[in-house]
């Protein structure tokens, strides 16, 4: 193919559901001509045949694909995360030139993105890891996009990504920002997914408590969620929860939620979020409990055996059903604030660890539309970080203090009720424990330091004078100044 055929301004590699929808989204925007390539040509041929209106430029080989792109060539990879991504990157590096841009739009683990960016940079080609959220509908109509990569690549990529991103209804801003360098985009996408796990678990716990506490049917609870979706909890996840609860199974006539096997799957991003948080030392207990709750649900062999374990003696009944439902709503909102606060803490810690300059307000803003955790209250988070970019604890912003002040009594009642009734509410209760921990004047961590010093001479600090100390526990138990071995 000759240079004169190079007329596409953007290319997509990988034409399964996400890639083909993203390619169609790109093609629908003014000024874009989209080159498409898939390992097996069949998918390319199908896409071209089904969408002649898109004016796609098909390629059968990586060489043809490269030749069909204007310089700097820009290609978005949407293939199975892992080895496939490396295979495609290696192939593109062979046919691209310095200054060109390779974007990985798949769900890569951010350390892989850091590694790939470093390796590709040596060839003079730009590599951008971009988190893309919103599933197949988002890819087609407007996802939330979280790109990392170099400033140079953002100059070319920015306008293209802005043209296809979701639009925040509040101010018409596209839901995309240059998150930070190398793996920053995939890091933020990972935490987005972690928060998604926490949000879904909290909603599931709210449903379970209401159902078991009030005996309401899934359809009645769907109405409650629909009502909640008109207030401060307004969000995509609350909205779809009502839809799922209202669905009737065609073959049995029962609520669909009652015939779906109660074992939650996971593709690993929740686990990555928690593993990363552990290594950064950031307590993301809401996300962790949500991830563990999915694991717990997915061990039928253990659950079968454990059904013999005793629960509370008394039946769980709620006398004031409406009051209880309102308590659950408030507990859900308070717990949700904690989950997001923890998630943003992880982003801040990741930015510090990896030297990314991440604007937390901008992240809250690009999650307002297109992505799974889109919610009205992300505006409040954005406001809080616009007001104070260095806010150490999101929950301490005035809006959240107010919400937690209004919600905390209900939250405590719900957690206490769940414990007494033997209903698992791990995300509700761990969020409350985190809240009480972070606001505590004094924590029993002092005792832990004493224990560590006792068995391992790990030393401790004192509240009344500087220095590092050790008690001679196996000697005369006097205190000595020590080297800091924390
Ligand atoms: N599905 C979602 O809702 C969603 C949401 C956000 C992000 N993502 C991410 O988006 C990416 C694409 O997802 P998807 O569901 O559309 O597709 P997928 O099922 O994850 O991957 C299928 C695509 O990968 C290609 N592929 C696999 N191995 C390859 C290799 N060695 N070399 C070249 N191409 C290879 C396939 O080509 P062939 O046709 O030749 O097999 C096909 O185009 C993934 O990273 C996924 O995690 C998905």
Q: Measured on CA atoms in the order 65, 67, 68, 70, is the torsion positive or negative?
A: positive
Instruction: Note whether 279 and 397 are same-domain residues.
Output: yes
Mean pLDDT by runs of 10 across the 486 residues of the chain is 70 98 97 96 97 97 98 97 97 97 97 97 97 95 96 94 95 97 97 98 98 97 98 97 98 98 96 98 98 98 98 90 98 98 98 98 98 94 97 96 97 97 97 98 98 97 98 98 79
Number of domains in the chain: 3
Tell me the binding residues for NADP(+).
Answer: 14-19, 38-40, 79-81, 107
Establish if 52 belongs to a structural domain.
yes
Which is the catalytic residue, given 3, 136, 152, 189?
Answer: 189
The answer to the question of residue 351 being in a domain is yes
- Do 398 and 472 sit in the same domain of this protein? no
Same-domain status, 223 and 83: no
268 and 365 belong to one structural domain: yes
Instruction: Give, using CA atoms, the residue closest to atom 20 of ligand 1.
Output: 80
CATH code of the domain covering residue 127: 3.40.50.720
CA of 136 to the centre of ligand 1 (A): 12
Instruction: Look up 254 and say whether it is catalytic.
Output: no
Q: Whose CA is nearest to atom 3 of ligand 1?
A: 135
User: Which pLDDT score is estimated for 486?
Assistant: 61
Q: Are residues 370 and 264 in the same domain?
A: yes
Residue 484: its pLDDT value, please? 73
Q: Can you give the pTM of this predicted structure? A: 0.96
Verify that 229 and 368 share a domain, yes or no: yes
Distance CA 362, CA 360 (A): 5
Beta-strand pair 34-37/10-13: parallel
What's the gap in Å between 107 CA and the centre of ligand 1?
Answer: 9
Active-site annotation holds for 196: yes
Does an H or E element contain 259, and which? helix 256-259
Out of 196, 205, 289, 346, pick the active-site residue.
196
**Which atom of ligand 1 lies closest to the CA of 81?**
45
Instruction: Tell me, yes or no, whether 195 and 62 share the same domain.
Output: no
How many other CB atoms sit within 10 Å of the CB of residue 346? 24
Regarding whether 252 and 330 lie in a shared domain, the answer is: yes
**What residue's CA is closest to ligand 1, atom 24?**
79
pLDDT at residue number 445: 98
- Closest C-alpha to 431, from 303, 359, 332, 364: 332
Structure tokens at 237: 């996840």
Residue 87, in any domain of the structure: yes
Q: Are residues 423 and 454 in the same domain?
A: no
| Ligand 1 center to 148 CA (angstroms) | 20
90 C-alpha to center of ligand 1: Å? 16
């Amino acid at each position: 193919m000759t240079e004169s055929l190079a007329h596409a301004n953007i290319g997509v590699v990988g034409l399964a559901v996400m890639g083909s929808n993203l390619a169609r989204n790109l093609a629908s925007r003014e000024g874009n001509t989209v080159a498409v390539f898939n390992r097996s040509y069949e998918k390319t041929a199908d896409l071209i045949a089904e969408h002649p209106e898109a004016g796609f430029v098909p390629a059968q080989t990586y060489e043809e694909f490269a030749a069909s792109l204007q310089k700097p060539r820009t290609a978005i990879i949407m293939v199975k995360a892992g080895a496939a991504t490396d295979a495609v990157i290696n192939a593109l590096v062979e046919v691209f030139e310095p200054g060109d841009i390779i974007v990985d739009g798949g769900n890569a683990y951010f350390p892989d993105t850091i590694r790939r960016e470093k390796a590709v940079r040596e060839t003079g080609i730009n590599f951008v890891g971009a988190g893309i959220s919103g599933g197949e509908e988002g890819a087609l109509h407007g996802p939330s996009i979280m790109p990392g990569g170099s400033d140079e690549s953002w100059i070319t990529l920015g306008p293209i990504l802005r043209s296809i991103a979701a639009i925040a209804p509040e101010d018409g801003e596209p839901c995309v920002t240059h998150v930070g360098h190398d793996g920053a985009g995939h890091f933020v996408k990972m935490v987005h997914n972690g928060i998604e796990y926490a949000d879904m678990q909290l909603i599931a716990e709210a449903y379970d408590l209401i159902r078991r506490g009030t005996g309401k049917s899934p359809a009645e609870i769907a109405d409650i969620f629909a009502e909640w979706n008109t207030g401060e909890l307004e969000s995509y996840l609350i909205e779809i929860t009502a839809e799922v609860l209202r669905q009737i199974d065609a073959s049995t006539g029962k609520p669909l939620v009652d015939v779906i096997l109660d074992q939650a799957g996971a593709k690993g991003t929740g686990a990555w979020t928690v593993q990363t948080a552990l290594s950064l030392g950031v307590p993301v207990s809401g996300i962790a409990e949500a991830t563990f709750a999915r694991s717990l649900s997915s061990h039928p062999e253990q659950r079968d055996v454990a059904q013999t374990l005793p629960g509370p003696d008394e039946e769980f009944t709620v006398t004031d059903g409406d009051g209880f439902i309102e308590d659950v709503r408030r507990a859900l909102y308070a717990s949700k604030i904690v989950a997001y606060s923890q998630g943003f803490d992880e982003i801040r810690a990741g930015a510090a660890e990896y030297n990314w300059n991440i604007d937390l307000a901008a992240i809250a803003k690009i999650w307002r539309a297109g992505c799974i955790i889109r919610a009205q209250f992300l505006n409040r988070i954005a406001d809080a970080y616009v007001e104070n970019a260095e806010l150490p604890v999101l929950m301490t912003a005035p809006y959240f203090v107010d919400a937690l002040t209004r919600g905390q009594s209900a939250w405590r009642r719900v957690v206490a009720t769940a414990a007494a009734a033997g209903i698992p509410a791990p995300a509700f209760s761990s969020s409350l424990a985190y809240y009480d921990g972070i606001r505590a004047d004094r924590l029993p961590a002092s005792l832990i330091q004493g224990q560590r010093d006792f068995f391992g001479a790990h030393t401790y600090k004192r509240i009344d004078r500087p220095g590092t100390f050790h008690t001679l526990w196996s000697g005369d138990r006097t205190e000595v100044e020590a080297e800091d071995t924390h």
